[in-house]
Structure 1
Amino acid sequence: MKLFIASDLHGCLLATETMLARFEESNANHLILLGDLLNHGPRNAIPDGYNPVATAEALNAYSKMIIAVRGNCDSEVDQALLQFPITASYAHVLLPQMRLFLTHGHIYHPDNLPPLQSGDGLLYGHSHIPVAEYRDDILLFNPGSTTIPRDNGRASYGLITATECQVHALDSDEILLSCSIRLKR
């Protein structure tokens, strides 16, 4: 099982098209979207290539492969454009080796963890800053942002396999961060 993770697209068609091309190349089984898909948000500048309607149409082509959660910039209006659900504030993905808690990151994040067991993982976005590490036996994974990276970072996405988590640069094959999956004890 391979999971492709992206967050904070913020309505940028160019970044979304690039991300979807990377998804195709990855041969991942599912596309996990961690929120803030169509709206740029009131604190962000409008990104180049901002086109929420076309971004929704591009994502809809992959609707059967998408697992998504709602970000703080997502709304019912956004849901009306999308052919896959985005209104849940969290979701769970059960893998043979671990449980993944998916959320945007504005409520649950590394400093406010949901109830997790040792060996589980928290997948979140919101900060636009990539993370791939363990803290107290919990996987913390943030793919960064495809559109508006912060802290002088690069646009990025994530991949999770049975053995590894990686954050990749959106514009190249470069792996920005990586950590091994720990098996439950």
Structure 2
Amino acid sequence: MKWLVLSDSHGMRGSVYDILDSHPDAAGLFFLGDGLDDVEYVENTHPHLQVYAVSGNCDRTRGTLEGVADCGGVKVFYTHGHLYGVKSALGPLCKRAKEEGAAVALYGHTHNPLCGTQDSVLLANPGAVSSFPSRYGILTVEDGVPSFQLRMI
């Protein structure tokens, strides 16, 4: 199964929908903040998608700030990242993911795409939809093993 991972759209709603429309087989969407208005209609326009969304520092904390989801038997911790100082270090984010029993931690905020492993946690930042070119990620879980791909449009 695959899940789309988007962050930091900052008003680029058209790019969000371009990404969604190019992956009709996606099971769900993680939106990691800073553009909640851009995804508020996704549930109406793409009703087959399970949407997980958090508020970012530019969303005026309208929604939840973090969450945990089960993706094909793999626990995924997701947050915008600003509360964990992700521009400086990823240790606090990794620690929080481990506290939640998560094998994957998804975050945004920096606008810089990244995928790596720290202390057995897959850490992934899709980059920013508002960048040129727009950046996003795909989280795939096969046989209980997560992987992450960085993409751009």
TM tier, smaller: 0.7 to 0.9
The worse-fitting range, judged by mean Cα deviation, of 58-67 and 124-133 is: 58-67
For each residue in 1:72-119, what CA deviation from the matched residue of structure 2 results, as whole angstroms up to 9, or x when unmatched?
11137xx5xxxxxxx010010123553211000101341422151687
SS of the residue 2:112 aligns to: coil
Question: 1:131 and 1:97 mapped to 2: Cα distance?
Answer: 23
Q: Name the structure, 1 or 2, with higher relative contact order (CA <8 Å, separation 6+).
A: 2
- Residue among 116, 125, 150 paired with 2:98: 116
Q: 1:57 to 1:125 in 2, by over 3 A?
A: closer
Question: 1:126 and 1:59 mapped to 2: Cα distance?
Answer: 21
User: What code does the residue aligned with 1:59 have?
Assistant: V
User: What code does the residue aligned with 1:30 have?
Assistant: G
How many pairs align? 140
Question: 1:157 and 1:89 mapped to 2: Cα distance?
Answer: 20
Give the match for residue 22 of structure 1.
22
Question: 2:53 and 2:39 mapped to 1: Cα distance?
Answer: 13
Give the match for residue 33 of structure 1.
31
**TM-score, normalised relative to structure 2:** 0.78
Is 1:71 paired with 2:56?
A: yes
Question: 2:39 and 2:140 mapped to 1: Cα distance?
Answer: 27
Give aligned-pair identity as a percent. 31
The worse-fitting range, judged by mean Cα deviation, of 5-14 and 89-98 is: 89-98
Q: Give ranges in structure 1 of 5+ residues lacking alignment.
A: 39-51, 80-86, 172-185
The worse-fitting range, judged by mean Cα deviation, of 113-122 and 2-11 is: 113-122
**TM-score, normalised relative to structure 1:** 0.66
Give the match for residue 138 of structure 2.
159
Question: 2:136 and 2:83 mapped to 1: Cα distance?
Answer: 21
The CA RMSD measured in Å over matched residues stands at 2.5
The worse-fitting range, judged by mean Cα deviation, of 102-111 and 59-68 is: 59-68
Matches within 5 A, 1:29-178: 29-38=27-36, 55=38, 58-60=41-43, 61-62=45-46, 65-75=50-60, 87-108=63-84, 109=86, 110-113=90-93, 114-116=96-98, 120-148=103-131, 154-162=133-141, 163=145, 164-169=147-152, 171=153
Q: Give ranges in structure 2 of 5+ residues lacking alignment.
A: none
